[in-house]
Amino acid sequence: MVFSALLFVLLGFLTAFCHTILANITSILGIAPDFVMIIILLIILRKDFQIAFPAVLMVALIVDALNPETFGFGAFIRFGLALIVYELKQQMNLEMLSSRMYVLIGTETVFQLLYQLVAHSFDIGTVMQIYLESSLPTLAYTSAVGFLVFFILDLEIKVDVRRRKVD
């Protein structure tokens, strides 16, 4: 119980670190990857419902607390997308790298579009300009980082399976 609570707190610190410091370090021309969406997908794809959703809600609220003008709505979108991905996980095989990448690209696209629409009062002209200038490069950068993360984790799983076969 104490170990689970400690992991929960560490996840909160990891989220805050990724969204603030790591995003600033890795930004290119003001565009930073959305590490939070990658963390949320890793939680949803690897954990059960009872563990995943409190963790996702905490991650979403921590990140959304850093944007007070839309506080709550970003967390609501991220949590809703996590629910959808969890249901997809039950119905589809999301073990392949390509399927995880499709899910990452889809969730990031929907998140950016809905978030920009609400943040800019549904002004389509402004939203499209911001989407082209900021959201699409963020999507591309997040996809590249997500590919690296998922690829490295797949390699780790394959190496672990091979070790178990040898032993």
Reported confidence tier of residue 159, pLDDT bands at 50, 70, 90 = low
Strands (E), the chain: none
Of the candidates 2, 93, 8, the residue with the CA atom closest to the CA atom of residue 43: 8
Q: Which amino acid is at 72?
A: G
Cβ atoms of residues 142 and 104 within 8 Å? yes
Residue 22 has pLDDT above 80, yes or no: yes
For the segment(s) 2-166, the CATH number from 1.10.1760, 1.10.10, 1.10.150, 3.30.70 is: 1.10.1760
Instruction: Judge if pTM exceeds 0.75.
Output: yes
Tens digits of per-residue pLDDT, 97-122? 889 999 999 999 999 999 988 888 88
Helices 136-166 and 35-46 pack at an angle, to 10 degrees, of 40
Q: Which residues lie below 8 Å from residue 159, measured CB to CB, with a gap of 6+?
A: none
Cα–Cα separations (whole angstroms), residue 85 to 22, 53, 99, 108: 25, 12, 11, 12
